[in-house]
Every structure is written in C-alpha cells, then in structure tokens.
Structure 1
C-alpha cells in the first residue's frame, strides 16, 4: 500500500505543483518588476539632493581654495588627475 501511495502523491506534485509554483512567481515578478510612482519620486528627490550637495561641496572648495590654497593634502606623484578627488573614483 505504501509503495502505491508515494507515486500517487509525488507525480502530481512534480508535474502540477512545481510548474504552478514557478509560473506563479514568474507572474508576480513581472507584475512587480517596475518602479512605482512613489519609488520614482523618491529617486528624483535623492537625485536632487545629491546635486545640491555637489553644488555645496564645490562652493566650499572654492572658498577654501581662496582662503588657503594649500588646504588639500599632498598627492603622491603617481596621481594623474591632480587635486580633483572626484576624478579619482
């Protein structure tokens, strides 16, 4: 009896349950694969904040360069981009 019960349970699980589970998650992934309006708004806000922070940093660098041109740490001679740290990354 036990030998007959195992194939009766295992075969439907393999041929019906597993494909259903895979297709279910593929459908969910495709449905939720794009950004929501709130996500896009948050990314726009973060981009604007990053732009403002970059402008502020550039202003601070101009002020510091005007007051003390030697404020930056010395660079090693193998650096090819000079004093601009943003190009080093």
Structure 2
C-alpha cells in the first residue's frame, strides 16, 4: 500500500512544484500580452475615427460655404 501512495504522490508533488507554477506564469503572461494588444488596437481605431471625423467636418464646412454662395438664405429655411 505504501508503494502505491509513493507512486502517486511523487508525480503529484513534481507537478505541483514544477509544472503548475510555470503553467501559471505562462498563462498570465499570455493574458497580459493579449490585453496590451487589444489596447493598442483600440487606440489605433480611435485615431482612425478621429481623423475620419475631422475629414467629415471639413466636408461639411465646404458644403456650407457652397450653399452660402448659391443661396445665402438657406439656413433660414431649416
């Protein structure tokens, strides 16, 4: 009976002392890297949306200038 306990306890102890800590470290390192990548992607997307908003604002301004030249009282009809 004691040899069976010994045969089961040695692999369990090796797993708990060696494998489990390395596994945990690698898991949380990968998770941290994934979060950092997601944040970088979010910042790039925010920058692209900001640039698009600026271009749309410039287009709107140009359209308003054209409408002002064509029909100066167009704003009063809105």
TM-score bracket, normalised by the shorter chain, equals 0.3 to 0.5
Higher Cα Rg, which structure: 2
Name whichever structure is richer in helix by fraction.
2
- Structure 1-normalised TM-score? 0.42
- Structure 2-normalised TM-score? 0.46
